[in-house]
Structures are given as structure tokens and as C-alpha cells.
Structure 1
Amino acid sequence: MTSIQANGYPIYFNEKGYEFLNLHLKENKYSNLFIIVDSRTNELCLPQFLGYLETELIIEIIEFDAGEANKNIETCIQIWKVLTELGADRKTLIINLGGGVVTDLGGFVASTFKRGVDFINVPTTLLAMVDASVGGKNGVDLGNLKNQIGVINVPKMVLIDTNYLETLPKNEMRSGLAEMLKHGLIYDKNEWEKFLDLKGLDFADFDGFIYRSVSIKNEIVIQDPTEKNIRKALNFGHTLGHAVESYFLEHENKTTLLHGEAIAAGMILESFISKGKNLITTAEYLQIKSTIKSIFEDIQFEENDLKPIIELLIHDKKNEYGSIQFALLDGIGKIKINQEVDNQLIEKAFEDYKS
């Protein structure tokens, strides 16, 4: 696969990417190299990654516990302290090897340490490959509120090696698939239609699906790097999806959801809202609902869950002047941003989701 030129950095794929990574290490006079991993990628991905590296730099590994619960400022403080203790300076390079939690948090750590050091993202999950590691968003959660603290700052490169997907359990592969479905729904109807019959899908060309999904996100981000306009389209399914994810993360009696599981539910809910505002037809909505539900298990919502989930919407980052802003479908393959939605329609979306 040929590389993709993003907004200020290249995205390389598979073994060819390591050639460019090693060339980058050779051409830039870094003082040292730190690789940030979580406990999962340290075990499953780091040995393979180190086998490709060609450098005489001193390499230090920084590991933190895997999981969204650790994507917070406390983890960043611990990593900043380790970087300081081990002599990191302005000429340090940080490589983030892991899923979305690692690339989001590691990118934030690098962007803020000594006012910013170079970093490279090497995503190891499907979700990180098609979404989290691309686009320059870096950050952490504030309590149970998703991605409230962060910066937009691009890496020196992104290296996507799909061999790392062999380390993933099925539920994490599904989680990444949610973002791929989203890219089709908001931007490319033909891409969406490829996923209508999963049994007939040729997974031998899954690299091609990943490549197209990355291309779609990149094409949108290039138009609007700082999310003032069209980049908000990428938040389809995320306004309610993030609220659901945050609510389930906060409550001990709820099973923590993977990001893609929450976003899948969010896409169904926001598709219903799109139908309620006459932006898509009933047939389009039912196609979306049935397709997503054929892949993802239903999330069980109790009656007393809805009010606190809706209250969490006020913290969504797209909101302006206290008004909740949705990105809604305008037919499959198109989007309308900055859409206000009343609570009654949101409640109806949850009722229909449960039916």
C-alpha cells in the first residue's frame, strides 16, 4: 500500500513503514528514544516492533496499565516523572506503541513535555489504526468525561502494521469496525454498502478496507484540521456514544464498554434522530440499525439510565454557548453538522433502540 500524506506528516503501512521509520531515526539526531506501551502491548507487540528497529539510540520502555480507566492526568504525571528521571530532553523521540489509549495519552505526554518533543504513533488495534492515531488529536479523560483535556498536535509519522491485529480478541476487532462503518455512513455510501453483508465480505482484502477508512478520515481532517467545520462530521455517533461510554465507565454496577461498542449504539441513536429530523428515510434508518445490530450486542439501558446520560451531553466538546450540537446524517454518505436536538427526540431514540 502506498503511503498517505496527512496534514503535516506521512502515514506508512506494513513492512515498508519500518524502512521509513529507521530512515527517520538515522536522519534526525535524537538524544534518546522512549517507547510508551501499556501492559498488553508490552507483552504482545513490543518484541515484534523492536525486531524491526535499526538504531544505536538508547531505548527506554515506559509501561502503564492497560485500559481506559488509566487514560488520565495521573498517568501522564507518572510518565513525565519517568522521562525526567531517565534524562529525556528536547531532542528526545517518543514512540507510542498501542491502541487508542496509548496513542492519545502518549501523544499528549509528548506534546506537553518540555513544551513538546517529537513523537510517532504505531497503532496496534483496529480502532487506533482507522481513527485514534490519525488526525493529531491527543489527550486524556477528566474523571469519566472522555477526552476533555488535550491538544491538537501531529506526530512525525504514523506507522500502521496490520500484523498487530493478530493479537486482538474479537470484541476489540468489532470495536474498530464501528469507526469504519461510521466513515462510510458520513462520507462514502459505496464503502458503507460493502459492510451490509458481512458473510459475503472478503476479509482477505481487509488491509484495503483499513486503507480506505484511513483515507476518508484523512480527507476530512485535511479540510479542517482544528475542527471548526467539516471535521465535526467525524463525531457522528459520538455525542450520545461518548455519553453512554462515560456513564458506563463511571457506574460500578455497569459493565465497562469498549469505545466501538458505545459508538455503535450512538450511531443507531443518532440515525434515529436523523430520521426524526427528516434527514434520512425510514428505510435508510432500518438498514443502519439492522446492520449495526447484526455486529454488536445490544447495550441494556434501564429507565433510570437515560436522565444522567442526557445530562452528560452538556460536556460534549462540540457544544457552543451551552447548546448541544450533533453531527447527523443527511442521507447515507453525507452529514449535517451543528444540529440542535431536543431531549424528547433523544428519549424516543433510546426507546426505539431498545425495541
Structure 2
Amino acid sequence: MQSIQANNYLVHFNENAYEALNKHLKENKYSNLFIIVDTETNEHCLPKLLPVLETDLNIEIIEFEAGEANKNIETCIQIWHVLTELGADRKSLVINLGGGVVTDLGGFVASTFKRGVDFINIPTTLLSMVDASVGGKTGVDLGNLKNQIGVINVPQMVLIDTQYLETLPQSEMRSGLAEMLKHGLIYDAAYWKEFLDLQAIDYNALDQLIYRSVEIKNEIVIQDPTEKNIRKALNFGHTLGHAIESYFLESEEKTTLLHGEAIAVGMILESYISLHKNLITPTEYSEIKTAIQAIYDQIEFEEKDIDPILELLVHDKKNEYGLIQFALIEGIGKIKINQSVENKLILEAFQDYKS
């Protein structure tokens, strides 16, 4: 597979990935190498990576506990301390091996340690391959508020090796699939159609579907690296999805949702809003809702859940001048950004989802 040129770095795939990595290690005079993993990728993915590294550099492994609950500044502080104790300097290289939590947090740690050291991301989940691999967003959560602290800073390269997906449970594969569905809905109607009959998908072609998803996100980000305009399209499903994810993360009565599970709900809700703003047809809405509900379990919402979710919208990073901004679809494969939505319509969307 041909590498994809992103903003100031390349995304390499499968057989080209480690060749590019070892070439980079050979050509750059790094002082030492730190690999950041979580407890899951330390066990399942690191044994695959270490044997293919061709370097004489001293390699140190830094592990933290897996899970969104640990994507916070406290974990960063611990890692900054470990880097300091192990003698990391400005010429160190950090490799982040893991899902979106690892690449987001590890990228932020590297971008801020000694005002920035080089880092490379190796995403190991479907979600991180098609989402966190492109765009340079790094950061951590602030309490239950998603990705409130961070910087945009690109890695030296991203390596996508789809063999890591063999270690994933089906729930994590479905979580990543949500972002792929989103890419079709906002940008490529033909790509969306590929997912309407999951039974018919040739999973030998999964690599090509992942490649196209990365391509779509990259084409959008290149036009607008700092999210002033068209990059906001990538937030479809995320305005409500992130609020739902945050609410379920903080509520002791709720089971924490995977990112893609929350985004799947968000896409249905925001498609309903698109329908009632006359941006999509009833047929298109029915197609979207039916396709997503065929993949994801129904999430139960009680009446008392809705107000706290709406309150969390106030903290959404996309808000400007105190107004909540939605990215809505304008027909399948097109997007309309900077859309304000009344609470009444959001409540109607929840009622429709529950019906």
C-alpha cells in the first residue's frame, strides 16, 4: 500500500511501516528510545514490535493502566517524571504504541516534555487507525470532559499495521467502525454504501477500507489543519456523542461506553436533527438509522439522563461565543458546519432514538 502524505509527515502501511521506521532510526541521531504502552498493548502488541526494531539505542518501556479513565494530566505527570528519571533529553524519541488513549496522551507527553521531543504513533485499534492516525490532535481529558487539554502537533510518522487488529475484541472493532461510517456520511456516499450490508463485506478487503478512511480524514485535515473551517466536518456525531460518552463515564449508575458506541448514538441523533432542518430526506434518515442500529446495541436513556447530557454540551470544544455548534450532514456524503440547534430539537431527537 502506498504511503499517505499528511501535513508534514507520512502514514505508512503494513509491509512499508517497519522499513520506514528503521530507516528513520538509522538516519536520525537519537539519544535513546522510549516506548509508551498501556497494560493491554504491553502484553499483546509490544512483543510484535520489539523484534522488528533495528537499532542499538537504549530502549525503555513506559506503561500506564489501560482505559479512558487514565487519560488525564495525572498520568502525564507520572510519565514526565519517569522520562526525567530515565535521562530523557531533547534528542530522545517517543514511540506511542496503542489505541487512541495512548496516542493522544503519548503525543501530548512528547509535545510538552522539554518543549517537545520527536514522537511516532503506532495505532493498534481500528478506532485509532482511522481516527487518531491523522490530524496531529494530542491531549487528555479534564475530569469527565473529553480532550479539553491538548495541542495540535504532528508526529514524525504514523505506522498502521493491521495485524494488530487480530488482538482486538469485536466490541473494539465496532467502536472503530463508527468513525469509518462517519467518514462515508460526511464525505463519500459510495464509501458509506460499502457498509450497508456488513454480511457482504469481504474482510480481506478491510485493509483497503481502512486505507480509504485514512485518506478521507487526511483530505479534510490538509485543507484545514487547525479546525477553523472544513475540519469541523469530522465532528459529525461527536457533539452529542462526546456529551453522552462523558455522562456515561462519570455516572456511577451507567456502564461506560466505548467511544464508537457513543458516536453511533450521536450520529443517529444528529441525523435526526439534519432531517428536521431539511438537510436530508426521510429516506436518507431511515437508511442511516437502520444501518447504525443493525451494528450497535440500543443505549437506554432515562428522562433524568437528558438534562445532564445537554449541560455537558456547554463544554464542547467546538463552541464559539457561547453558542453550541453542530456539524450536520446535507445529504449523504456532504456536510454543513456551524449549525446552531435548539434544545427542543435535541430533545425530540432523543425521543425518536428511544422509540
TM-score, shorter chain, exceeding 0.5 = yes
User: For residues 284 and 203 of structure 1, what CA distance do their matches in structure 2 show?
Assistant: 26
Return the offset for 1:55: 0.2
Return the offset for 1:133: 2.5
User: For residues 139 and 282 of structure 1, what CA distance do their matches in structure 2 show?
Assistant: 38
The 5 Å alignment of 1:1-355 reads 1-355=1-355
Aligned length: 355
Return the offset for 1:216: 0.1
Whether the 8 Å CA contact 1:104–1:133 is kept in 2: the answer is no
Return the offset for 1:15: 2.2
User: What TM-score, normalized by structure 2, do the two folds share?
Assistant: 1.00
Whether the 8 Å CA contact 2:67–2:101 is kept in 1: the answer is yes
CA-to-partner distance for each residue in 1:173-212, whole Å, 9 max, x for gaps?
0000000000000000000001001111111110000000
User: For residues 40 and 295 of structure 2, what CA distance do their matches in structure 1 show?
Assistant: 25
CA-to-partner distance for each residue in 1:93-112, whole Å, 9 max, x for gaps?
00000000000000000000
Return the offset for 1:3: 0.2
Return the offset for 1:117: 0.3
Return the offset for 1:51: 1.2
> One-letter code of the match for 1:153?
N
> One-letter code of the match for 2:213?
S
3-state secondary structure, aligned to 1:182: helix
User: For residues 332 and 38 of structure 2, what CA distance do their matches in structure 1 show?
Assistant: 37
In structure 2, runs of 5+ residues without a counterpart are none
User: For residues 210 and 39 of structure 2, what CA distance do their matches in structure 1 show?
Assistant: 25
User: For residues 204 and 60 of structure 1, what CA distance do their matches in structure 2 show?
Assistant: 35
Whether the 8 Å CA contact 1:328–1:339 is kept in 2: the answer is yes
> One-letter code of the match for 1:76?
C
User: For residues 149 and 115 of structure 2, what CA distance do their matches in structure 1 show?
Assistant: 16
CA-to-partner distance for each residue in 1:28-70, whole Å, 9 max, x for gaps?
0000000000000000000001111000000000000000000
User: What TM-score, normalized by structure 1, do the two folds share?
Assistant: 1.00
Whether the 8 Å CA contact 1:182–1:236 is kept in 2: the answer is yes
User: For residues 16 and 339 of structure 1, what CA distance do their matches in structure 2 show?
Assistant: 41
3-state secondary structure, aligned to 1:119: strand
User: For residues 210 and 51 of structure 1, what CA distance do their matches in structure 2 show?
Assistant: 25
Return the offset for 1:16: 1.4
> One-letter code of the match for 2:68?
E
Segments of 4+ moved more than 6 angstroms = none
Whether the 8 Å CA contact 1:236–1:328 is kept in 2: the answer is yes
CA-to-partner distance for each residue in 1:120-157, whole Å, 9 max, x for gaps?
00000000000012210000000000000000000000
User: For residues 132 and 276 of structure 1, what CA distance do their matches in structure 2 show?
Assistant: 31
User: For residues 16 and 274 of structure 1, what CA distance do their matches in structure 2 show?
Assistant: 41
Return the offset for 1:323: 0.2
> One-letter code of the match for 1:349?
A
Whether the 8 Å CA contact 1:34–1:92 is kept in 2: the answer is yes
Q: Report percent identity of matched pairs.
A: 78
Whether the 8 Å CA contact 2:325–2:339 is kept in 1: the answer is yes
| Alignment RMSD (CA, Å) | 0.4
> One-letter code of the match for 1:313?
L
> One-letter code of the match for 1:279?
L
User: For residues 328 and 169 of structure 1, what CA distance do their matches in structure 2 show?
Assistant: 31
3-state secondary structure, aligned to 2:151: strand
> One-letter code of the match for 2:354?
K
3-state secondary structure, aligned to 1:231: helix
Q: Is the deviation greater in 122-131 or in 197-206?
A: 197-206
3-state secondary structure, aligned to 1:138: coil
Whether the 8 Å CA contact 2:133–2:214 is kept in 1: the answer is no
Q: Is the deviation greater in 232-241 or in 197-206?
A: 197-206
User: For residues 132 and 253 of structure 1, what CA distance do their matches in structure 2 show?
Assistant: 29
